[in-house]
Chains A and B, each alone.
Chain A
Amino acid sequence: MIPEIGHLALIVALVVALVQGIFPIVGAYKGYASWVAVSKPAARLQFLLLLTSFACLTWSFLQSDFSVLYVAENSNTKLPQIFKFSAVWGAHEGSLLLWALILSAWTAAVTLFGRSLSPLMMARVLGVLGLVATGFLAFLIFTSNPFERLLPAVAEGRDLNPLLQDIGLVMHPPMLYMGYVGFAIPFAFAIAAMLGGRLDAAWARWSRPWTQAAWVFLTLGIALGSWWAYYELGWGGWWFWDPVENASFMPWLAGTALMHSLAVTEKRGAFKAWTVLLAIFTFSLSLLGTFLVRSGVLTSVHAFASDPSRGLFILLFLAVVVGSSLALYAARASKVRSHVRFELVSRETALLLNNVILVVTTVSILLGTLYPLIIDALGAGKISVGPPYFNAVFIPLTIPLAILIGVGTVARWKRDSVANIWAKVRLAFVASLVFGLVFPAVAMAHFSWKAALGMVLAFWVFFTTLRVIRDHARGRGLGGLSLSQWGMALGHIGVAVFIVGITLTSLYSLEEDVRLAPGDHYGLGGYDFHFKGTTSIQGPNYQGARGEVLITRDGEPVTVLYPEKRNYLTGMPMTEAGIDAGLTRDLFVALGEPLGEDGAWAVRIYVKPYVRWIWLGALIMALGGVCSLADKRYRVLARREREALVGGVA
């Protein structure tokens, strides 16, 4: 019964989404007030319906209702409760339902927080979101129904993929989807603004906090995924340039460009058409990511061709969304010329450069991701494009980006001069050179020019940001900085921390696979790893072995690690690495296979300097985003416009 309620709610949600998509947009165009008025209740109703549907599916999981096919395939009575909950979005159907739920939640949030929007603008925004939701719900119901019954029911379900039985999974997909789907909001604002024929600074101001919110979630989602892969997979890697990772990284890059471009549009009224294009581009990349991950096209082009229903649907949907948006853009926005003047040497130019580099990076990654699929589909050969390619493309492009952060943040709007900028960054320049060159020589095992380059860039970003903070604080103290100024500063400091993490981890990590019998020890990077042996363990849905490794440095004990090797009911072996996390280094021990009779194991040992800084940097960036979107000017604006509306403009 409960699954049927969920199913019904889903179908009704589709109908409501259709209503929400059509009536407000047509109504706004024709001027039917009653049609426009449909938008808000429809959006809220849709959220409630999807929440109901999601709750029903969750209930089926918690009750282990194996008459629901999706539950039977992804849950098991022995699965711990928390993982029964997260198993809801552990596979295709449920994660799409989560996608739809999150879209409706964002939409409902617009109806709550977007009160300053004029009713017409609100109707158009909600209408566009309704159309997007229609596409997704149709996809969900017609190709990926999570409520499909399995009759007769089976007594016991298959288990959830053990990889996903981890707190990382409970958090990672929702965060990622919040980001992905969140970019639908600036997209809807952009489309609505074009429909209404008004591309002004107000539109940018409305979009900006929503873009920042989506960006914060996406940043956290990607960082969580990277952290999860690091400790769960036992490979010690944190980024693999996998197509699926790229699928989330491309919208992030485009979204970063969008945030910066929106800043110019809001503050200076410039780059309007470009910003609209970026909003379309960013959301299209989110959809493309969904296509790549969901269609199976990554597994094999041929598998996709043999069962194309899901993939084809998303591809068509993508084509409709991108095609119609670009057509609208060509008709309405491409002719928009901003009459805002700025000189060649100005913050505008720096931000423009930032945008160009970010977009070039994004498109290059897109090329590398799609290239093997395309030439395979064309029958022109089978190749692999992996980390060597992406690193070769990505790293050189980030160097000018880091330099630009320092220049762009100190440059003045409208016009500045090279001499003036130089005067401001001179000290930071010298300091970053000195610190960057000295750091690897003093703090690391050996000097490396690559490390020096990375550290110079990190210090450069850091010192120039300090300079900006100092300038803003002049005469007012640190408390005088607005939240949005803090946001920018933290965002950029996060970048600096991130660069430190990547540079030092990539260049100074030590890795060794060794055979260790109980009582053996092995030295790596100044640490001594003593293997005490293993004991067998029994978990709720797995059994396995747990090793004990004592780590000492100069004879002093540092920590004891307990890496595990588990065999789950599904027959899948899993490595649970033992990790001692530290600000300047991680010690990482993973068990491979037992070797021989004497209790010896193949053991992987890592010493990874500064690896935490990668995720710390992402956290700081996200914190910066939170500060920015909490800036009071958005609330002041909301109040002022509300008052203006009461005056009868609406």
Chain B
Amino acid sequence: MSIVKKSVVRLTPKNMQHRLLLAAALFVSTTAAWAQVPVPAAKQTKATLLTGATLHVGNGQVVEKAAVAFTDGKITYAGPASGFNAGGTSYETVNVSGKHIYPGMILPNSQIGLNEIESVRATLDQQEVGLFNPNVRSVVAYNTDSDITPTLRSNGVLMAQVTPVGGMISGSSSVVQLDAWNWEDALVKADGGVHLRWPAMVQAGDNSPVMAQRRQARQSSLNELESLLAEAKVYKDQKHDRENLKLASLVGLFDGSKKLFIHTNYGKEIVESVRFAHKAGVKDIVIVGGGDALVVADFLKENNIPVVYSGVHALPTRSGDDVYLPYKMPGLLQQAGILFCLDYDASLHGSRNLPFIAGTAVAFGLPKEQALSSVTLNAAKILGVDKQLGSVEVGKDASLVVSDGDILDMRTNKISHAFIQGRKLNLTDKQQYLYEKFDGKYKAEKKQVQ
């Protein structure tokens, strides 16, 4: 972190040399101002050992006075400090006594890196034109140098599912880690999700022609989707002279290499869409949004459908709903035995609050460690990256954070260390820089007054 020192340059207007000097000074400070995206951390070279903290594994277990060791980006030990044996390895040991170790959090269903400033069109790369774009890949537009990314890291969010929006099939998502030089380096799992936006069941207030038209339009787009999937299913076995990008991109849905993320909320649509996808032969289905997941809980359980639940920090959908329903939903989903994780659909810049929606869910009935799972291990499972991510367990990536206190509470969420694949992150961001710049200004002025 650097604080720009104010150099006071007094100039006479006639003095050209001084003018140039000023220009140079301005240039330096501007450069400094834009050099706020921290440099990505270098590869782990030395074995690291964190000791003394409370370890929250991510799978529900908590280990007091724990030790976590990792080498070459992988976790080699995670358990009670008393049980750790260094063997012959020399560790860079960090005493984190009194602190807490957590898996790095994973943010599903996000436009991070695709959307810099919502209101400036030139900075938006999240939505293509057209109804069916399964071949469109989000990761190639993912901007590793977004100003937003560092603010997620410094709250403990280290991975994200970069997800396109729009149309009916928006495209495919990839899972990235949030500290990289370029998107290629950032990739954790490429093109693992196909995102289907389920058309809303039109609820006609009357039988007006507009409503009839909308119903018809819905049906015809569903018909189109049906034939698209049907053709994709047999595409692999066909001999084709010409490659069809759309069909090719859907093949993975039928062999289990890709998951179908269906974005929908209304109870009937959840049932309708899942049955539709099953009928089409899709293997792995995830519901995203899931506003009414609870009312169709049995259906979801029977069919083993996990949910990316959106909107904990949201108002109830219907005026008569329990005022706390959105806050209670994660706890209720847990009770219903549905595998779920949380996203932060409300806003991109607010995504750094992912731990706090999990915290809010705790206040309304979700057990604390399950709340942690809902932003770590469950997310990893649902995104298909739980082999390497989501919990602090031996063999997994050393993508974890150390917080001074409870990570789910904003009073104590203070990330002192964060590692992605063993790389120790620089946790500064542009906002801290601006803070220090102006805080420094006022403190200096205060001193002068004194």
**A, B bound:** no
